[in-house]
Amino acid sequence: MSQSSSSASDKTELTYASSGVDISAGEQVVSRIKSLARETFTPETLSDIGSFGALFKADFGDMKKPALVSSADGVGTKLKLAFMTDKHDTVGEDLVNHCVNDILVQGARPLFFLDYFATGALSPDVAVATISGISRGCKNHGMAFIGGETAEMPDFYSAGEYDLAGFIVGVVDQDEIIDGSAVRAGDSLIGVASSGLHTNGFSLARKAIFDRAGHTPDEHIDSLGCTIAEALMKVHTSYLKPVQRLFSDLSDGSIHGMAHITGGGIAGNLGRIIPSGLQAQIVPHTQPGSWPTLPIFDFIQECGEIAEEEMRKAFNLGIGFVLVVSPDDVDKVKTILSDSGHDSFTIGAVATAPGDIDAADAKKSRAVFL
Amino acid sequence: MSQSSSSASDKTELTYASSGVDISAGEQVVSRIKSLARETFTPETLSDIGSFGALFKADFGDMKKPALVSSADGVGTKLKLAFMTDKHDTVGEDLVNHCVNDILVQGARPLFFLDYFATGALSPDVAVATISGISRGCKNHGMAFIGGETAEMPDFYSAGEYDLAGFIVGVVDQDEIIDGSAVRAGDSLIGVASSGLHTNGFSLARKAIFDRAGHTPDEHIDSLGCTIAEALMKVHTSYLKPVQRLFSDLSDGSIHGMAHITGGGIAGNLGRIIPSGLQAQIVPHTQPGSWPTLPIFDFIQECGEIAEEEMRKAFNLGIGFVLVVSPDDVDKVKTILSDSGHDSFTIGAVATAPGDIDAADAKKSRAVFL
């Protein structure tokens, strides 16, 4: 596309294409995205891809006081794995599932999704493969993929690379918002299994595995039961379906709080929903009777000789989502999760916060590893 | 931050910071963004920055059939100007105004905004300056800046560089959606002045001015009345206030269609809202009696020896927004725009489409330069 024209003599007229922006490639991508997006349209979707703004009916059935719940996210440097392996069709699903979980924490169900795809030189095939993952992720959740932006930005991204961000809007009845204020001392912490790193810690993982230990992505590792790339690229788990089953099968108010375990690890994210005066105390996976970590985390730790404390900040360590419930509900919750195909573990409990915490550390002390 | 640790001996343990992710810098940015965001909060805003999802009351007053209107956008390579000049506090406002105009085209008023800010090595000062522009832009529109993502992605962005995307949600009554279907043969095209390039065509402009003609950003150019950087970085005009005045002062249905002039130029964007069988015919700015182009476009064209046709695809050429109205309303519209501080020009008219257009060219022929 632009390469041939930009090598032309300085005397020729400059064109938009020679500056690195190929409008026809952009139009080709938009037209191919259209059919992917249409497969996700719901009855509320009022516009097609390509209109200035995307239209969606604000009709929330019999909800009394609806609140929109929105979130923006990226895939982080997990994208580098897509570049290394030339496999682009799952990072979009990672992105969608990440966004779905973020708003699920407050009890919201997803409505619609928009993406931002930015690259140095637009390859229609790579863009469409990437966005096919978004479309699949949206379809899995009955969510409409209604718009987005595909940007060709010369000199911004290395050859063959791109960045990808997503925006989700969902809805929850204001009376049913879950924000952790119902969490009580004595509550149990139920950790739901992750599939792997999800979308966090990839800068550290890549440095440990590839730079430090000298592995390559296509190496098969016995303890992982697959190649390194396959283990690292496992799709971010969506917790929407199992949690919606909990909503329907448990009595109202049974879930006191939820946390999606992303950047900052289990304690960093769980602490965000623990009320002042309380402390979520996590029994680490290194202690018997807690949860089994995934082999990929042991592998990363060995490759990078990474201290346990650093591991806890960078990774989910096998727990992708945490539910805070009364001890009386633990068995029922675990059974429902198991019936939905999700392993879960009691990973600790909520206690009254110790009296000797500095005010400066108060927020960080809301969730700690024992 | 990471630089010192990553040069340490290979024998040391890897840390998250040595892999290029500085969690404390991230936390510092979030805490400084919080106060910027809070200044924009509206009565509908139900959550603070830092919760998993951002909560916003879905209460649209006496609107009968509300539809949400959303859009995702970036700033494109206008960001390179921010990097060249180390001036980061206006690109966020560009982004907000771009998004506001995109949903205004369908008649929507803005409700809330989220951003995505991604960089290689997080500089809290640069991030906060950038996001201060978003906050100001939101405040100007009575829109809540309720969330976003700040991502540190080592090896993705060059030193000191970042990408920035935005996501807007607004609302319009379904009975009042403007989609161009009311456009009729004989309608007038009213172009509203842009402040400059807005956020499109920067790859071509940079190539022409800096690479081809060898200028530097801080050069004062007499015809521009300012430096090159100042002319290129003029903030993207928001058309919300003047168009809302048109809504309130004109009788219902007076505005038959609107187009925001972004990538693709005047014809490329205007064509998106012209119904089948009609053609918007634009009298080019090079002809007497049409609109006066801005000096920056003449300057770019000279620097790059760019053909007029390329200029029309890459740039707005001085027209940032187009209104399609009945000829009877032209004077009134222009007076209201002028009273709101916006220059406007009759730039053409709508005609019946010529009968000899190939089916393949039909969409591209919806708007043409005469």
Structure token pair of residue B179: 């989609």
Identify which of A364, A71, A319, A77 has the alpha carbon closest to the alpha carbon of residue A201: A77
Strand partners, B193: B319
Nearest CA of chain A to the CA of B235: how many Å?
Answer: 19
CB neighbours of A367 closer than 8 A, spacing ≥ 6? Answer: A266, A267, A268, A269, A270, A271, A274, A279, A280, A281, A282
Question: Residue A83: which CATH number?
Answer: 3.30.1330.10
pLDDT at A9 over 60: no
pLDDT tier at B3, thresholds 50, 70, 90: very low
**Cα dist from B326 to B21, B246, B253, B257, B323, whole Å:** 57, 14, 10, 10, 10
Query: For residue A201, which residues of chain B lie inside 8 Å, CB to CB?
Result: 16
ipTM over 0.90: yes
What pLDDT is attached to residue A11? 52
- DSSP assignment of A290-315, as one string? SPPPPHHHHHHHHHHT--HHHHHHH-
Residue B182 lies in a domain: no
Question: Residue B228: which CATH number?
Answer: 3.90.650.10
The answer to whether the CB of A16 falls within 8 A of the CB of A23 is: yes
pLDDT at A6 over 60: no
Q: Which domain holds residue B79?
A: 2-176
Residues 50-109 of A with CB under 8 A from B: 50-60, 65-74, 76-77, 79-80, 102-103, 105-106, 108
What pLDDT is attached to residue A51? 85
Same domain, A16 and A161: yes
Same domain, B214 and B152: no
Compute the Cα dihedral for B5, B120, B84, B124 and give only its sign.
negative
Helices B124-140 and B91-104, axial angle in degrees (round to 10): 30
Query: For residue A310, which residues of chain B lie inside 8 Å, CB to CB?
Result: 13-16
Mean of the per-residue pLDDT values of chain B? 93
Same domain, B123 and B90: yes
**Cα dist from B46 to A87, A108, B60, whole Å:** 40, 14, 15
The domain boundary residue, chosen from A176, A197, A227:
A176
The domain boundary residue, chosen from B155, B176, B197:
B176
What string of H, E and C letters represents the secondary structure of A206-264?
HHHHHHHCCCCCCCEECCCCEEHHHHHCCCCCCCHHHHHHHHHHCCCCCEEEEEECCCC
The answer to whether the CB of A66 falls within 8 A of the CB of A107 is: no
Same domain, B168 and B204: no
pLDDT at A25 over 90: no
Q: How many domains does chain A have?
A: 2
What pLDDT is attached to residue A288? 83
Same domain, B218 and B320: yes
Chain B residue at shortest CA distance from A260: B52
Query: For residue A264, which residues of chain B lie inside 8 Å, CB to CB?
Result: 23
Structure token pair of residue B321: 């927004």
Same domain, A104 and A154: yes
Identify which of A149, A154, A117 has the alpha carbon closest to the alpha carbon of residue A1: A154
Judge whether A155 is closer than 8 Å to chain B, CB to CB: yes
The answer to whether the CB of A206 falls within 8 A of the CB of A80 is: yes
- Running DSSP on this structure, what letter comes out for residue B212? I
Query: For residue B257, which residues of chain A lie inside 8 Å, CB to CB?
Result: none
Identify which of B245, B95, B203, B29 has the alpha carbon closest to the alpha carbon of residue A14: B203
What pLDDT is attached to residue A10? 46
Same domain, A316 and A292: yes
pLDDT tier at A2, thresholds 50, 70, 90: very low
**Residue in A52, A151, A172 closest to B260 by CB:** A52
Each residue of B301-340: b (16+ CB within 10 Å) or e?
Answer: bebbebeeebbbbbbbbbbbbbbbbbeebbeebbebbeeb
**Residue in A72, A102, A155 closest to B167 by CB:** A72
Same domain, A102 and A199: no
The reported pTM is: 0.94
CB atoms within 10 A of CB A347: 25
* Segment among A156-170, B16-30, B83-97 with least mean pLDDT: B16-30
Backbone angles phi, psi at A18, to 5 degrees: -70, -15
The domain boundary residue, chosen from A176, A200, A227:
A176
Residue A181 lies in a domain: no
pLDDT at B226 over 90: yes
Reduce the DSSP state of residue A112 to 3 states and report it. Answer: strand
Same domain, B204 and B162: no
CA–CA distance, B49 with B37 (Å, rounded to integer): 7
Residue B181 lies in a domain: no
What pLDDT is attached to residue B11? 52
CA–CA distance, A40 with B324 (Å, rounded to integer): 33
